[in-house]
Amino acid sequence: MPNGANTHCPYCALQCAMSLTPAASTQPGSGPAPAAKALPVLEVSGRDFPTNRGGLCRKGWTSASLLNHSGRVTEPLLKGSDGVHRPVSWDQALMLVTGAVKQTREKYGPDAVGVFGGGGLTNEKAYQLGKFARLALGTSRIDYNGRFCMSSAAAAGNRAFGVDRGLPFPVEDLDSASVIFLLGSNVAETMPPFVQHLKGARDSGGLIVADPRRSATAAFTGDGGGIHLQPTPGTDLALILGISHVVVHEGLADTQYLEDRTSGYTAIVRSLAGFWPERVQSITGVPATLIRETARRLAHGARNGGSYILTGRGVEQHVDGTDTATAAINLSLLLGLPGSSRSGYGTLTGQGNGQGGREHGQKADQLPGYRKITDPAARAHVAAVWGVDERLIPGPGLPAVELLKSLGKPDGVRCLFVHGANVAVSAPDANAVIDGLRSLDFLVVCDFFLSETALEADLVLPVTQWAEEEGTLTNLEGRVLRRRKALTPPAGVRSELWLMARLAELLDAPSTFSDDPETVFEELRLASSGGLADYSGIDYAMLDRGEAAYWPYPAGSSGTPRLFLDGFAHADRRAVMVPVVPGKRPASSAVVLSDTQPLTLVTGRLLEHYQSGAQTRRVAELDAAQPEALLQIHPSTAAARGISRGDFAVVSNDRGEVLCKVELSNTIRTDTVFLPFHFPGAGSANRLTEAATDPVSGMPEFKSSTVRVRKATAIKEAS
């Protein structure tokens, strides 16, 4: 076993720095302890780094406990006719996959093979997965779970700024801000070490949080810390337009900035005419006085200490998420924030490599370097790096929700690869997704545990965990980081780079596929060169020396910690202000099943768990703290339905139903209920969410589902 490593947390995009050292009870070379006597093989300690300054959250502190977990998959598993997975050799597994791909292509064509990737894959794996899909499989049908997280913010950033990078400034810049406006993000639970960067704004009374719940983050606004805006779910766009109306009509806009650095201002003013605060109050439930106060504080902060507007999934995971993120960008431009040395706009990337994972080829419409797959120059550049005829690169595929809807259909995907995702829990309308997985001719899942998706697979392939591999990731600031190997993986486990290289060889793929991370990164550098996300000036040696590497980082440059200081990424160097107004929100297909008043379901995260919970639900300390999904409901709403604390409730619509215990809370609106999305089975919140999507980004409507809630009777507390 290596002597430990300095690396970064495997969970969220804050990518907190940590050190891994062999546990005192572990002898080098001894391998994992028997399940009954499992002991940590590595000890975790926080390491000083700008994002976390030595701190970690509960997930980070316990992350090493999964490395020798008794449920770890350590050899390929093939599902038998009886539904039981049994070990097979790697040679047999590779032959099965190769045969399934060839048979599917011959019978249905190359687009009948699909790939679903993940925002937790290293840059190297994300890059090679996109290449593997397009050249080895010959398919356009690749997308990834980042479509569920960042797609609306990315689409809005691209059309406004010409480029999308979560935070276009180092997170430390927030420390000196006097005002921070957080829209739809509960960082106190999703990335706790981030909270220290809010302290300056909170201490000055300038922390403003928009959230239908009084979340842990919203609670920081108490005792003079700022303002909590509590809009009706799904009305965030109107709220932002109301604040923007005040900025314009009270003369708070930065007119010189608008003249020098933007286009489209006149159209924005016209679009805001109908959103005076009192009307917005009637739409959102947020008092007009607070709408005005928010606008004034943001404007004052922009001129005295700095203002930042940050968006999260709460305002983006809607069918109008791109427009809502665009409205937030427009507000920031009205105030002159983007590109300022002490103010700014950004969006909080969620997944560990949510930023890098979307830059280098996992998205249905992109090639490495954040290039559009439909751009002839981009196709020619990447084809030259790959050493293939440009015509071998397929065109754009289907975004994630449409890809999943096509599973098992006659003209859809019949053979699917899943890497780093648990769609059986995390995708909208999860019951329909599970039906789609079961209708496939062949499902291959690469994972290190038997996740709910892996349990549906014909073949499960065991892959390395974070501490067993080398590579790079890109955090929420656009900073490229090194992941270092601290542990030798179990004998039967393989890297996904190795898997792709072997399968590419068996499928007679053009180009070359390496199983060495640094070799793959060197090719990524070339493929990204000249693109929006240019990594060509970054190499492993500089990262090993601890040098900060913010993309774009063209060869010969020193990188770009702060975007937009000298202009935006459009040809005229101006930001584009795009008018947006709330349209008629599509009526939910959910049928109200009784005369009882329907409620709005909001989904989100808990402090102890991450994404679908496939990892964190296996950590004893985290599972003990939050072992099941609890329905958060206002006491008066519960009382009207005869529901008390600790009762079981059925939450339902025409897509499915969820059974869970009730948690009464005064922190939530009376017309709203909340469920965490980390749990499978009877507690799976995404049984209820709808697969309707934003027309621009493909983002699903996760945050606003119409449901009925009733008290459950004669319930057995079985999982």
SS3 for 385-448 is HHCCCHHHCCCCCCCHHHHHHCCCCCCCCCEEEEECCCHHHHCCCHHHHHHHHHCCCEEEEEEC
Q: Which helix (H) or strand (E) holds 298?
A: helix 288-303
Amino acid at 140: S
Sort residue 310 into left (φ over 0), alpha (ψ -120 to 50) or beta: beta
CB 184 within 8 A of CB 210: yes
Average pLDDT, the chain: 93
CA–CA distance, 104 with 109 (Å, rounded to integer): 7
Evaluate whether residue 575 is within a structural domain: no
Exposed, middle or buried by CB within 10 Å (0-12, 13-18, 19+), for 458?
Answer: buried
Cα–Cα separations (whole angstroms), residue 717 to 430, 619, 647, 649, 682? 22, 22, 11, 12, 10
Q: Which three-class secondary structure state does DSSP give residue 549?
A: coil
Dig out the tokens for 696 from the structure.
């621009």
Q: What is the mean pLDDT of residues 255-271?
A: 98
Q: What is the mean pLDDT of residues 35-53?
A: 81
Confidence of residue 26 (pLDDT cuts 50, 70, 90): low
266 Cβ contact list (under 8 Å, min separation 6): none
- The residue behind tokens 């970064």 is 8
CB 88 within 8 A of CB 99: no
Please say which residue of 512, 544, 576 terminates a domain: 544
Q: Would the pLDDT of 34 be above 90?
A: no
Q: Would the pLDDT of 350 be above 90?
A: no
| Residues 120, 60 share a domain | no
Amino acid at 549: A
Beta strands in 244-350 (DSSP E): 262-263, 307-311, 344-347
Strand partners, 443: 416
Tell me the per-residue pLDDT of 85-136, one tens digit each, with 9 for 90 and over: 999 999 999 999 999 999 999 999 999 999 999 999 999 999 999 999 999 9
Q: Would the pLDDT of 27 be above 50?
A: no
CA–CA distance, 330 with 381 (Å, rounded to integer): 34
Best CA proximity match to 630, nearest among 671, 666, 679: 679
Q: What is the mean pLDDT of residues 540-565?
A: 96
| Residues 419, 527 share a domain | yes
CA–CA distance, 321 with 324 (Å, rounded to integer): 5
**What is the torsion angle, in degrees rounded to the nearest 10, for the CA atoms of residue 282, residue 288, residue 291 and residue 297?**
180
Q: Which three-class secondary structure state does DSSP give residue 669?
A: coil
| Residues 108, 45 share a domain | no
Q: What is the CA radius of gyration of the chain?
A: 25
CA–CA distance, 472 with 479 (Å, rounded to integer): 10
Confidence of residue 349 (pLDDT cuts 50, 70, 90): confident
Q: Would the pLDDT of 40 be above 80?
A: no
Beta strands in 402-524 (DSSP E): 415-419, 442-447, 459-462, 471-474, 480-483
| Residues 98, 31 share a domain | no
CA–CA distance, 347 with 369 (Å, rounded to integer): 20
Please say which residue of 348, 371, 390 terminates a domain: 348
CB 575 within 8 A of CB 333: yes
| Residues 666, 529 share a domain | no
CA–CA distance, 633 with 124 (Å, rounded to integer): 43
CA–CA distance, 20 with 443 (Å, rounded to integer): 35
Tell me the per-residue pLDDT of 482-536, one tens digit each, with 9 for 90 and over: 999 999 999 999 999 999 999 999 999 999 999 999 999 999 999 999 999 999 9
Q: Is the dihedral of CA 230, 234, 239, 244 positive or negative?
A: positive
Please say which residue of 544, 578, 609 terminates a domain: 544
Tell me the per-residue pLDDT of 6-21, one tens digit each, with 9 for 90 and over: 999 999 999 999 999 9
Evaluate whether residue 553 is within a structural domain: no
Buried b (16+ CB within 10 A) or exposed e, 415-438: bbbbbbbbbbbbbbbbebbbebbe
Evaluate whether residue 719 is within a structural domain: no
CB 365 within 8 A of CB 328: no
| Residues 389, 329 share a domain | no
Evaluate whether residue 138 is within a structural domain: yes
| Residues 108, 168 share a domain | no
Best CA proximity match to 687, nearest among 425, 300, 497: 425
Q: Residue 48: which CATH number?
A: 2.20.25.90
Evaluate whether residue 334 is within a structural domain: yes
| Residues 246, 125 share a domain | no
Residue 629, domain extent: 599-711
Q: What is the mean pLDDT of residues 402-415?
A: 97
Confidence of residue 467 (pLDDT cuts 50, 70, 90): very high
| Residues 259, 196 share a domain | yes
CA–CA distance, 112 with 121 (Å, rounded to integer): 24
Tell me the per-residue pLDDT of 594-609, one tens digit each, with 9 for 90 and over: 346 899 999 999 999 9
CA–CA distance, 518 with 539 (Å, rounded to integer): 8
What pLDDT is attached to residue 597? 84
Evaluate whether residue 247 is within a structural domain: yes
What pLDDT is attached to residue 713? 85
Q: How many CB atoms lie within 10 A of CB 326?
A: 26
Evaluate whether residue 570 is within a structural domain: no
Q: Would the pLDDT of 587 be above 60?
A: no
Q: Residue 629: which CATH number?
A: 2.40.40.20
More reliable by pLDDT, 719 or 687 = 687
Evaluate whether residue 593 is within a structural domain: no
Confidence of residue 41 (pLDDT cuts 50, 70, 90): confident
| Residues 489, 454 share a domain | yes
| Residues 270, 165 share a domain | yes
Number of domains in the chain: 4
| Residues 160, 14 share a domain | no
